[in-house]
């Protein structure tokens, strides 16, 4: 009887060991990234704006009513609409509806209510504020006008840049997932230095293949940490190429 009991216990232990050895299906990396923003019942708040370009007045000139100017080029608005539709389609595939807001119409009271997504860098007043405390953040030089992503741990690095009015061969973007410091709400930032950088960043965060590449080089447990990624895209014939991660930070 005792031997029978021993045999049963050994068999049970072997079965448990076998189950532990079987690798359960891994959740796709893109779902792990988006999970903190999409887990609530409410529609996702997406904050963007249609402002593009910068005011290139000299530093000693009198400021106008706005620090940026609105370009009424219909092609610009078409591209903005296409990107908005692309993000909405992706979020819809994850079972989430979207509430779109213009950055100029949003206050802290609205940001305190639920997780949100910030699209655009210098065309969205909330984005530079939100990432300013982080390792990677935005800076706008004035004379000449150059948009940059800077690195607090490497302050001499200044090549993640996009000069205004120049024929560019590359563009950069910042992707972040972390709590916004003033509201405590989880946010995702998708913001390029230029329009092409923003488009490449949007492709990155909505395409599973790029997240699988990212996850392969990310530290264990990355999905439970705050994340910043600097993305680079090469420009060919004024169009963006595949986005590549050139820097990452977790905390």
Cα 191-160-64 angle, rounded to 5 deg:
60
Q: What is residue 173's predicted lDDT score, i.e. its pLDDT?
A: 97
CA 177 to each of CA 61, 75, 76, 190, 213: distance values in angstroms, whole numbers, following the listed order: 37, 30, 27, 9, 17
- Using CA atoms, how far apart are residues 53 and 68, in angstroms rounded to an integer? 6
Q: What is the pLDDT along the chain (251 residues), one digit of tens a residue?
A: 565 554 546 455 555 454 444 444 678 999 999 999 988 888 999 999 765 443 433 444 433 333 334 444 444 444 556 678 889 999 999 999 999 999 989 998 889 989 999 999 998 999 999 999 999 999 999 888 899 999 999 999 999 999 887 788 999 999 999 999 999 999 999 999 998 999 999 999 999 999 999 999 999 999 999 999 999 999 988 889 999 999 999 99
Which own/partner contact pairs does 99-102 have at CB distance under 8 Å and 24+ positions apart? 99/43, 99/44, 99/45, 99/46, 100/46, 100/48, 101/45, 101/46, 101/47, 101/48, 102/47, 102/48, 102/49, 102/50
Tokens 């916004």 label which residue?
A: 180
CA 33 to each of CA 29, 127, 141, 176, 215: distance values in angstroms, whole numbers, following the listed order: 6, 19, 32, 10, 10
DSSP H/E element including 236: strand 227-236
Q: What residues are paired with 137 via a beta bridge? A: 150
CA 160 to each of CA 32, 33, 51, 216, 232: distance values in angstroms, whole numbers, following the listed order: 27, 24, 22, 24, 8
Specify whether the CB–CB gap between 126 and 118 falls below 8 A. yes
- Using CA atoms, how far apart are residues 240 and 173, in angstroms rounded to an integer? 12
Specify whether the CB–CB gap between 227 and 157 falls below 8 A. no
Fill in the DSSP letter of residue 115. Answer: -
Pseudo-torsion of CA 114, 131, 87, 197, nearest 10°? 170
């Amino acid at each position: 009887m005792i031997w029978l009991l021993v045999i049963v216990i050994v068999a049970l232990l072997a079965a448990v060991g076998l189950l532990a050895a079987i690798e359960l299906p891994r959740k796709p990396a893109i779902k792990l990234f988006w999970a903190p923003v999409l887990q609530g019942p409410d529609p996702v708040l997406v904050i963007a704006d249609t402002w593009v370009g910068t005011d290139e007045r000299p530093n000693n000139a009198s400021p106008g009513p706005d620090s940026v100017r609105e370009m009424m080029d219909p092609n610009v608005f078409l591209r903005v609409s296409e990107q908005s539709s692309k993000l909405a389609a992706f979020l819809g595939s994850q079972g989430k509806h979207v509430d779109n807001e213009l950055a100029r119409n949003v206050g802290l009271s609205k940001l305190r209510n639920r997780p949100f997504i910030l699209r655009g860098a210098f065309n969205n007043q909330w984005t530079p504020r939100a990432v300013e405390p982080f390792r990677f953040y935005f800076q706008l030089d004035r004379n000449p006008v150059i948009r940059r992503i800077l690195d607090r741990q490497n302050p001499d690095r200044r090549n993640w840049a996009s000069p205004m009015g120049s024929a560019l061969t590359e563009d950069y973007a910042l992707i972040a997932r972390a709590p916004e410091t003033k509201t405590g709400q989880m946010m995702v930032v998708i913001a390029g230095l230029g329009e092409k950088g923003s488009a490449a960043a949007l492709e990155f965060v909505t395409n599973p293949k790029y997240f699988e590449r990212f996850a392969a080089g990310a530290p264990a447990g990355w999905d439970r940490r705050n994340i910043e990624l600097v993305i680079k895209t090469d420009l060919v014939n004024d169009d963006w190429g595949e986005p590549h991660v050139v820097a990452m930070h977790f905390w």
